[in-house]
Amino acid sequence: MAYDEKLAARIRKILQVRPDVVEQHLFGGVAFMVRGHMSCGVVGSTLMVRLDPADADRLLREPHARPMDFTGRPMRGFLFVDPPGLGTAAVLRKWVRRATDLADSKPLKGKSRRR
């Protein structure tokens, strides 16, 4: 499954100021690891974000957000944001910031190297 390279490029542009970002190809898409933790990524044309599970119910009310579900069971702490919800740079930045805030709150995991 191919992923939306334009969306990935938009995320790269947001994350370019961070020296602790590594890209990994996962789930048929691309994931951005921050401080060794999965933070966000692109699956198909959809943004995947990892968030504090305690915030998930509130954030599911955001436009075009839905549970991340690969197998019929939603993954706790992960959401998908569909393309109509990512139209502006400010909205995408907000979602990426939420994901990186969670990664920043966790201890550094492994050696982090720049992509």
Q: Go through 77-92 and write b for each residue having 16 or more CB atoms within 10 A of its CB, e for each that does not.
A: bbbbbeeebbeeeebb
- The pTM for the full model equals 0.89
Residue 113 has pLDDT above 60, yes or no: no
Q: Is 79 a member of any domain?
A: yes
CB 30 within 8 A of CB 43: no
The mean pLDDT value for 55-73 works out to 89
Q: Is 110 a member of any domain?
A: no
Query: 74 has which bridge partners?
Result: 69
> How would residue 90 be classed by pLDDT, with cut points 50, 70 and 90?
very high
Residue 1 has pLDDT above 70, yes or no: no
Q: What percentage of the chain exceeds 70 in pLDDT?
A: 94
Residue 24 has pLDDT above 80, yes or no: yes
Residue 39, domain CATH: 3.90.1150.30
The boundaries of the domain holding residue 87 are 5-104
For 82: left if phi > 0, alpha if psi spans -120 to 50, otherwise beta; the answer is beta
What's the pLDDT score for residue 69? 85
Q: Is 54 a member of any domain?
A: yes
Residue 87 has pLDDT above 60, yes or no: yes
Q: What percentage of the chain exceeds 90 in pLDDT?
A: 81
> How would residue 112 be classed by pLDDT, with cut points 50, 70 and 90?
very low
What's the pLDDT score for residue 2? 87
Q: What are phi and psi of 41, to 5 degrees?
A: 180, -175
Number of domains in the chain: 1
